[in-house]
Structure 1
Amino acid sequence: MRTAKICLAGAAAAAMVGFLAAPAAAAPTDDTTVTFEVDEGTLDIVAPATADLGSGAPGGIITGQLGTVTVTDSRGAADASWVASVTSTVFETGGGTPAETVEPGLIDYWSGAATATTGNGTFTPGQANAGAAEPLDTVTPVTAFTHTGGTGGNTAAWNPTLVVNVPLDSIAGTYTGTVTHSVA
């Protein structure tokens, strides 16, 4: 009987070792759930720090381009629409008497067509050509460029033109003012 117990115990031990040593059955496929996040960015506008439009006589017209203005939209929005606008201060030389100022209403702005765009949606200049130029204002913004529709990121660049209608009573000097572009 003792022999039968030893044999039975040996058989059980051998079966257990065989069970433990048996290879695991592999699954034919396995899934991994992967996630990532697209960060919300910003809506920015960059314009040249300075511009020299040239010179002209009292009663004449001075025309020049500001340089490239660029809107970068990295908000990642489902509706990536925006409006870029522009205002201006009074241009002055000397002490600020009427003969030493040029009001923004005497300075016409036109954006012209985009020089570059990326992304989807519709890009529209505020003023496609010189005939559509609009006078600047210190308070009421003029639409410079718009983007409607589209999704995700986009960019637009344009090189706006300013047309200064120099008053006949202007005195000689260098007139300085600030043209401000904004986007929302």
Structure 2
Amino acid sequence: MRTAKTCLAAAAAAAMVGFLAAPAAAAPDDTTTTTFEVLAGTLDVVAPTTADLGSGAPGGTITGQLGDVTVTDSRASDDASWTASVTATVFQAGGGSPAETVLPEEIDYWSGAATATSGNGTFTPGQATAGDAAALSSGTQLTAFTHSGGTGGNSATWNPALVVNVPLDSIAGVYTGTVTHSVA
């Protein structure tokens, strides 16, 4: 009997070692908490460096396009609204006498519709049609384009037209001035 108890105890010990040595069962799934960061960027406007609107006679008009103006909003904001504005300096030729000067108020700006947009929200031209063209000013900003609502990044591109109402007393020459777009 003692032998039977010893054999039984040995068998139980062997079974226990087998049980303890068995590999642990794997969980059916496991999770990893993962993070990343979306960085806030900037609000920028890019306009052509130069533009040639063409030529015309005193008392007439000169109409030409400025070239693509693009606002890019990468601020990653929950309110991605912005307003692009435009101003101009006096345009002068030669020595800048009164007859060699065209005031910004004699130049109309027409943004027209966007040629490209990205992102969500509402994109609105400052002057949707030629009939909406408005005079530039050296002291007051004219709204060129707006974006309202939306979230995250967005962009808009337009190709504005300028209409120069050439004063009747203007003299011949190449007139130079600056058109400045800004965005906020």
Q: Percent identity?
A: 80
Q: SS in structure 2 opposite 1:105?
A: helix
Counterpart amino acid of 2:134?
E
1:45 Cα shift? 0.7
What is residue 100 of structure 1 aligned with on the other side? 100
Q: SS in structure 2 opposite 1:79?
A: coil
Task: Kindly report structure 1 stretches of 4+ aligned residues shifted beyond 6 Å.
Answer: 10-13
1:54 Cα shift? 0.2
Q: Distance in 2 between matches of 1:12 and 1:85?
A: 89
1:21 Cα shift? 2.0
1:125 Cα shift? 0.3
Deviates more, 1:140-149 or 1:21-30: 21-30
Deviates more, 1:26-35 or 1:159-168: 26-35
Q: SS in structure 2 opposite 1:56?
A: coil
Q: SS in structure 2 opposite 1:62?
A: strand
Note the alpha carbon deviations across 1:100-149, whole angstroms, 9 max, x for none. 11000000001001111111110000001111111101121000000000
Q: Distance in 1 between matches of 2:19 and 2:96?
A: 99
1:126 lines up with 2:122 in the alignment: no
Q: Distance in 2 between matches of 1:72 and 1:12?
A: 76
What is residue 140 of structure 2 aligned with on the other side? 140
1:13 Cα shift? 8.1
Counterpart amino acid of 1:27?
A
1:96 Cα shift? 1.2
Matches within 5 A, 1:64-75: 64-75=64-75
Q: SS in structure 2 opposite 1:162?
A: strand
TM-score for the superposition, normalised by structure 1: 0.90
The number of aligned residues is: 180
Q: Distance in 2 between matches of 1:137 and 1:111?
A: 15
1:18 Cα shift? 3.7
Note the alpha carbon deviations across 1:71-91, whole angstroms, 9 max, x for none. 111111101100000000100
Q: Distance in 2 between matches of 1:21 and 1:95?
A: 100
Q: Distance in 1 between matches of 2:31 and 2:19?
A: 28
Q: Distance in 1 between matches of 2:97 and 2:21?
A: 100
What is residue 3 of structure 1 aligned with on the other side? none
Q: Distance in 1 between matches of 2:84 and 2:13?
A: 82
Deviates more, 1:96-105 or 1:14-23: 14-23
Matches within 5 A, 1:1-184: 17-18=17-18, 20-184=20-184
1:176 Cα shift? 0.3
TM-score for the superposition, normalised by structure 2: 0.90
Structure 1: gaps (5+ residues): 1-6
Structure 2: gaps (5+ residues): 1-6
Q: Distance in 2 between matches of 1:15 and 1:37?
A: 53
